[in-house]
């Protein structure tokens, strides 16, 4: 009888251990789910109307990409918070380090693919153009027409792999910390042109300090796809979740939500 009690006691002990183990596993899944119930994103804070600082909520970003990304993640049961991390270079560093889960808009480049997964399809196409002082246009048909001129742009900005490579090898383009600084240098004659995205520059150049001082050349330097990206170090990043997010973005693109949002801006 004593042996039987010992045996039963041992059996219950094993069952108890198994139950505790299951509870711990369950708890770990619960923690993971809790951690991924909120997506922390950031991006280029000087990128209106796609992405820009929220005047009503300092420290956060707003814009078309924020609205689109929120529409994509909400059906997945996740809350989206898009924070202002300062410069575009800092935003990319935070995605690389895993300090944030996502970038709310980035062009595809090989260096970025090393630390981020891209959510396809792209949610928007962005033309990048040459901006010059008003009345000082020049003939631009191909990249080589920029040789011998001094250019400026935002630090760590990309205009496509091919152009980036050509610019490094053949052009003199100064990278600065803010796009306002780039245009200020153009106004003072310290550069001959600024390369920047068409949609993003238009609202900036409507501000009093820049209004009527610059104009774009008609031919774009490039037209690049803009994607949502996920940090490879994000705890929310998994193939299944990326697939679900991709399907949601596909629906929004098919519904032409990005185009309808863009057309809402009065300067278009």
How far apart, in whole angstroms, are the C-alpha atoms of residue 104 and residue 114?
17
Does 156 score more than 60 pLDDT?
Answer: yes
Rg (CA), the chain: 25
Q: What is the mean pLDDT of residues 119-146?
A: 97
Q: How confident is the model at residue 265 (pLDDT cuts 50, 70, 90)?
A: low
Measured distance CA(205)–CA(198) in Å, rounded:
11
Nearest to 107 by CA among 97, 116, 96: 116
- pLDDT for 25 equals 38
- Predicted confidence (pLDDT) per residue in 216-254, tens digit: 999 999 999 999 999 999 999 999 999 999 999 999 999
pLDDT at 27 (0 to 100) = 36
């Amino acid at each position: 009888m004593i042996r039987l009690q010992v045996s039963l006691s041992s059996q219950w002990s094993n069952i108890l251990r198994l139950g505790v183990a299951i509870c711990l596993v369950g708890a770990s899944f619960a923690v993971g789910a809790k951690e991924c119930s909120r997506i922390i994103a950031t991006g280029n804070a000087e990128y209106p109307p796609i992405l820009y600082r929220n005047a009503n909520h300092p420290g956060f970003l707003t814009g078309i990409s924020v609205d689109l990304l929120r529409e994509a993640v909400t059906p997945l049961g996740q809350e989206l918070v898009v924070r202002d991390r300062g410069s575009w270079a800092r935003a990319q560093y935070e995605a690389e380090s895993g300090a944030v889960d996502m970038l709310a808009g980035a062009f595809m480049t090989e260096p970025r693919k090393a630390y981020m997964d891209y959510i396809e399809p792209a949610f928007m196409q962005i033309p990048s153009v040459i901006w010059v002082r008003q009345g000082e246009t020049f003939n631009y048909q191909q990249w080589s027409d920029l040789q011998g001129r001094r250019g400026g742009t935002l630090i760590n900005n990309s205009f496509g792999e091919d152009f980036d490579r050509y610019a490094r090898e053949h052009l003199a383009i100064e990278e600065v910390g803010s796009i306002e600084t780039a245009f200020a240098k153009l106004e003072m004659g310290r550069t001959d042109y600024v390369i920047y995205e068409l949609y993003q520059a238009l609202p900036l150049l409507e501000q009093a300090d820049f209004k009527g001082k610059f104009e774009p050349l008609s031919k774009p330097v490039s037209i690049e796809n803009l994607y949502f990206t996920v940090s490879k170090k994000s705890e929310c990043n998994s193939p299944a979740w990326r697939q679900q997010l991709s399907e949601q973005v596909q629906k929004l693109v098919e519904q032409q939500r990005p185009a309808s949002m863009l057309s809402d801006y009065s300067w278009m």
